[in-house]
Structure 1
Amino acid sequence: MLAKGQTVIQYMEQLAPKHVAEPDDRIGLQLGTLQKDIRTVLVALDVNEEVVDEAIELGADLIIAHHAIIYRPLKQLQTDTPMGKVYEKLIKHDIAVYISHTNLDVTEGGMNDWMGEAVGIVNTAPIHDMHNEQLSKLVVFVPKSHHQEVLDAVLGAGAGWIGNYSHCSFNIEGFGTFMPREGSDPFQGKQGKIERANEVRIETIVPHDIKNKVIQAMLKAHPYEEVAYDLYSMDLKGRSLGLGRVGKLKEVKTLAELVEVVKEKLDVPHVRVVGELDRTIRKAAVIGGSGGRYMMKALFRGADVLITGDVDYHTAQDALAAGLAIIDPGHNAEKIMKVKVAEWMEQKLQEHKYATRVVASRIDTEPFQFV
């Protein structure tokens, strides 16, 4: 069975929720329709004519890309311009294009985590905070016989995370009372008679963005016809989500040694470097794309080096004066997302028994040559 376009994108938005994107970022479906079966998904960093030709050759119905194909409002659509040809081919071959940009950068397990892991950064935090996760407290009353089953369902759906601790809950035994009325079909007790049931009160923390998923899992596992539960909003904030990652290196390195790691792990032949190559690097910051404007925030968070693309001359001068090293692997280093997203999506589709295949684009969209 093939997955529908809406199903593929539903999974993609589990990885990179739209609400964590920067305001006015051009994300989501930019061209085509999702109201169709998807035989093949092509994952690309950019969408140019070569990538579209690759999609046509693969029989792809959907391209998931990082960089938008429509960034500014179109005043006209001429098919004799370079981008006009791209739009024309996409429409003629019924290929939809969906963009996941800063939401993929910000999300946990997304672009900046992949880049940080690749170069050996651990115990990371965002460079620039954008979102504080909203938390709720779920309280549900469960018959003692089904306590573990409901608890496992709730925690398995993602509830119960506090910092780096999972499966956090509090459980209190007591008794509940109820009277089944006419038309009811009680799990225990009889209509018209007050029932006293041995129950367990389960309390746990639920992030706002998975609240519905957790409640549905709880209701499915719960034996009662009418489930007694409460959901309280909390002033307590959860995880911070934001752009970039900063943390300690697994192994202390010189700047020169880290340069070689960046070149190998991010698959770039050359980098630009600011700073003395023999200086010691203990803490590093990374941000995909053009992250030079976060230079001072990386420095404030204790980074010895910032790894990011498109660093301008004056930012490099400021970093040098402030004692922050810079490794610039270029904007195209974000191509790490092609294989990572493809692997994640392939696994998700296979878990749900879909025959839709996912392919990472093999087209190199780096516009620069080094001579």
Structure 2
Amino acid sequence: MVLLKHIISEIEQFAPPAFQEDYDNTGLQTGDPNMEIRGILITLDVTEEVLEDAISKGENLIVSHHPVTLSGIKKLTGSTAAERILAKAIQQNIAIYSAHTSIDSVDNGVSGILSQRLGLSNLRVLAPRTGLLLKLVTFVPTQYAEKVRSALFDAGAGMIGNYDCCSYNLEGVGTFRAGEGTNPYVGEKGSIHFEKEVRIETIIPKHLKNRILKVLLETHPYEEVAYDLYPLANVWPKVGFGAIGDLQTPLSEEEALQQIKKVTGAQCIRHTELIGNPVKKIAVCGGSGSFLLKTAIQNGADIFVSSDFKYHQFQEADNKIVIADIGHYESEQLTKEVFFELLTKKFPNFAVRLTNVTTNPVKYY
């Protein structure tokens, strides 16, 4: 039996809800976390046609990139498509889970898969995020240091870039005096005790704080565990928006645009004036990425692939970069395959299907 909460857990380990933007509505839209799931339908958008697709095949979970609505719902009268979708999903006992800017923010998410399909190497996040990391410092009796350190690493502490198990360790002496009502691990009540300890410093993701502290308290031998948490201004190189990488063989701008069109299936590409430079480095951002234009230029990209550029934003390219606006749907459609690969790997004997409904609201004449 596969419960909805088990599937949500796997998705959120990959794309934590803590990574979503403030305006977003990532997470469970409808459904009971304890409901049994019979089948999963994956889509970019939840439309009425997609909902009917799930109903016709007996699938009771829809996993989407875009939420049914970004704004709150105050009534369910059926006056809008979003209201009709939510009402019918509830009536049919169909769960809807969306991972939007949370999966935009992971390095192997929306922009990552587009970069890979374009054949880019040396990939890195275009705009790494800050404010998502903490420094954990704790003090452990010497003989327990390895046990506590390993437990913290297993819980998700100590990740720096492509390195794990990262920590700094300093030996010293700790002092304490146990008062009435205590049960000290070492020392005697009423007497100051000196204990050889190791100061362990490590970085932890903010969204894993509670889990890591729980592990610390469970593995540390002291009745009262001393620890400090410091907010960090460090960037997290694996979390952020967009991606940038290198082509193994430089292309002309025309060849690069043809390659982008082929990979994404875009019917047309809105672009700025071609500069005439060879294309060696490409920046991408699935969805509305115009806010990253300056970052793409600063990082030396020759072409920036994204969508939803406004008229005057095209002028901001200023012959420093070629903007390739391929369309919102076209830039994010591969997200379905990210979900599919994740869920089929985690639940190999379970029915997971990509919808055959095209949800792109933009048509070309």
Report the TM-score when normalising by structure 2.
0.80
Cα distance in 1 for residues equivalent to 2:309 and 2:235: 32
Question: Any gaps of 5 or more consecutive residues in structure 1?
Answer: none
Whether contact under 8 Å (1:256, 1:278) holds in the other structure is: no
Letter in 1 for 2:125: A
Distance 1:183 1:362, change over 3 A: farther
Which structure 2 residues correspond to residues 277-296 of structure 1 after superposition, within 5 A? 279-296=277-294
Which structure 2 residues correspond to residues 195-274 of structure 1 after superposition, within 5 A? 200-222=198-220, 224=221, 226=223, 228-239=225-236, 241-268=239-266, 270-274=268-272
What do residues 36-88 of structure 1 show as CA deviations (whole Å, max 9, x unaligned)?
Answer: 22333322110112211222234332222122322455576454865555344
Cα distance in 2 for residues equivalent to 1:210 and 1:72: 27
Indicate the SS of the match to 2:223: coil
Whether contact under 8 Å (1:285, 1:303) holds in the other structure is: yes
Q: Could you say what the CA RMSD is over the residues aligned between the two structures, in angstroms?
A: 3.8
Whether contact under 8 Å (2:131, 2:231) holds in the other structure is: no
Letter in 1 for 2:208: I
Q: Which residue is equivalent to 1:323?
A: 320
Whether contact under 8 Å (1:122, 1:250) holds in the other structure is: no
Letter in 2 for 1:289: G
Counterpart among 328, 332, 336 of residue 329 in structure 2: 332
What do residues 286-342 of structure 1 show as CA deviations (whole Å, max 9, x unaligned)?
Answer: 1111223443443244322110123344433443x4332122222112111112123
Which structure 2 residues correspond to residues 122-161 of structure 1 after superposition, within 5 A? 122-127=122-127, 131-144=130-143, 147-161=145-159
Cα distance in 2 for residues equivalent to 1:314 and 1:198: 64
- Number of aligned residue pairs: give it: 362
Question: Any gaps of 5 or more consecutive residues in structure 2?
Answer: none
Cα distance in 1 for residues equivalent to 2:57 and 2:355: 10
Deviation at 1:233, TM superposition (A): 1.2
Cα distance in 2 for residues equivalent to 1:22 and 1:34: 23
Cα distance in 2 for residues equivalent to 1:74 and 1:152: 45
Whether contact under 8 Å (1:307, 1:326) holds in the other structure is: yes
Letter in 1 for 2:101: T
Deviation at 1:349, TM superposition (A): 5.3
Which structure 2 residues correspond to residues 1-371 of structure 1 after superposition, within 5 A? 1-3=1-3, 5-72=4-71, 77-79=76-78, 85-119=84-118, 120=120, 122-127=122-127, 131-144=130-143, 147-173=145-171, 200-222=198-220, 224=221, 226=223, 228-239=225-236, 241-268=239-266, 270-276=268-274, 279-319=277-317, 321-333=318-330, 334-348=332-346, 357-370=351-364
